[in-house]
Amino acid sequence: VETLYENYGFNKSVERSLNYYSKRIKEKFNVVLGRSGRYLSMITEIFKEKNLPQELVFLPLIESGFNMYAYSPARASGLWQFIAGTGKRYGLKIDWWVDERRDPIKATIAAADYLSDLYGMFGSWNLALAAYNAGEWRIVKAIDKTKTDDFWALRETRHIKKETKDYVPYYIAATAIAKDPEGFGFENVSYHEPMAYDEVVISSPMDIEAIARYAETDEKEIRNLNPELKRWCTPPNVSSYTVRIPAGTKEKFLAGISDTEDISFSIERYTVKKGDTIKKIASRLGISTDAVTELNSLNKNSRLAAGMTILVPPKSAAHLTKDTEVAKKKKSSKKSRRASKKKKNYLVTSAEKKGQTS
């Protein structure tokens, strides 16, 4: 396995990045370091299997801050900040029911494969990381125009954006601190416990509330273990679904669901009235139009006949039918455009990713 960290020198750009993390936002970065404890052992194991440099496990420090729900203005999501196109290219399912960019394990496998492909494409981890941030074809074009395949030389040209120029130094700095936190003044990092869970396969859709009940835990814990689930239940459009439940609860969970015929999938029926449209029904019930179309295999322009019965979400789940991430993006779009002109944070999300994943 190639080691990349030891080949880096601390040039001025890296020193500035070290100063940023260890002084300017030290308290915030300390929290992110602590959060990394939940996922690092899992990422390390996957990257070892994929024969990737172990230092790459720290990349989420600057991508998502190890926040599964991190969502950028460019609609990059999850631990590894994939945009939808790249996520799907690497096998992640993204639909109305689930977003596997937020699944820590599946997204890590996808990120490992993508990073491997980028290294195979460029033969340099500096360039691979730059491409992870900017998109591979932007780096290819920059190399073609400058006739150099050295990242630090490329960094001195106008052919890559400032965000990407800063990305590699920020990564090097974050990795240096993560490998030796005390050496950089982070003496009291409170690392989260590694994620521990059992897996169970359920053969029919099931409410998250019911999963929590049978596992003798709460909904918050089930969502923490399954952050890819976007709605009130597991997806009904698959024949079975694998759910993570707290470690040590598998036996009682399986015993519990085997003793009942009601697997607890909440759904309601609505009788269409004269003049009803999908939009009108959604508005009346306080749900999204997508909830109606997804549950009934319709499209938004489908005509509804009076008297027909359609499926709708339960009233208690109305708020879970709307994509809050998209709403948040629309609400803050002007603010995001203003922020994009300023210095990038490189902590909660690496940037507005317009070319590829990251």
The full 3-state SS of the chain, as one line of letters, equals: CCCCHHHCCCCHHHHHHHHHHHHHCHHHHHHHHHHHCCCHHHHHHHHHHCCCCHHHHHCHHHHCCCCCCCECCCCCECCCCECHHHHHHCCCCECCCEEHHHCHHHHHHHHHHHHHHHHHHHCCHHHHHHHHHHCHHHHHHHHHHHCCCCHHHHCCCCCCCHHHHHHHHHHHHHHHHHHCCHHHCCCCCCCCCCCCEEEEEECCCCEHHHHHHHCCCCHHHHHHHCCCECCCECCCCCCCEEEEEECCCHHHHHHHHHCCCCCCCCCEEEECCCCCCHHHHHHHHCCCHHHHHHHHCCCCCCCCCCCCEEEECCHHHHHHHCCHHHHHHHHCHHHHHHHHCCCCCCCCCCCCCCCCCC
CA 86 – CA 76 distance, rounded (Å): 10
Residues recognised as catalytic: 63
Average pLDDT over residues 212-223: 96
End-to-end CA distance of the chain: 23
Q: C-alpha distances in angstroms, 164 versus 54, 281, 312, 324?
A: 22, 46, 45, 29
In this prediction, residue 178 carries a pLDDT of 97
Domain spans, the chain: 5-191, 197-258, 268-312
Q: What's the confidence (pLDDT) of residue 259? A: 74
The pLDDT > 70 percentage for the chain reads 86
Specify whether the CB–CB gap between 85 and 20 falls below 8 A. Answer: no
**Among 154-158, 225-229, 336-340, where is mean pLDDT lowest?**
336-340
CATH number of 268-312: 3.10.350.10
pLDDT at residue 234, rounded to an integer: 96
Q: Judge whether 17 and 162 are in contact, CB under 8 Å.
A: no
Range 5-191 has CATH code 1.20.1050.10: no
Q: 330: pLDDT confidence band, cut at 50, 70 and 90?
A: very low
Query: Does position 333 have pLDDT exceeding 60, yes or no?
Result: no
> Whole-angstrom Cα distance, residue 69 to residue 77?
7
Q: Mean pLDDT over residues 208-236, rounded?
A: 96
Per-residue pLDDT at 311: 93
Indicate whether 343 pLDDT > 50: no
Mean pLDDT of 76-81: 97
User: Does the pLDDT of residue 195 top 70, yes or no?
Assistant: yes
CATH topology of 5-191 equal to that of 268-312? no
- pTM here is 0.87
Mean pLDDT of 266-278: 93
CB atoms within 10 A of CB 51: 10
Q: Which one is predicted more confidently, 107 or 353?
A: 107
Question: Residue 187 class from Cβ within 10 Å (0-12 exposed, 13-18 middle, 19+ buried)?
Answer: exposed
pLDDT tier at 356, thresholds 50, 70, 90: very low
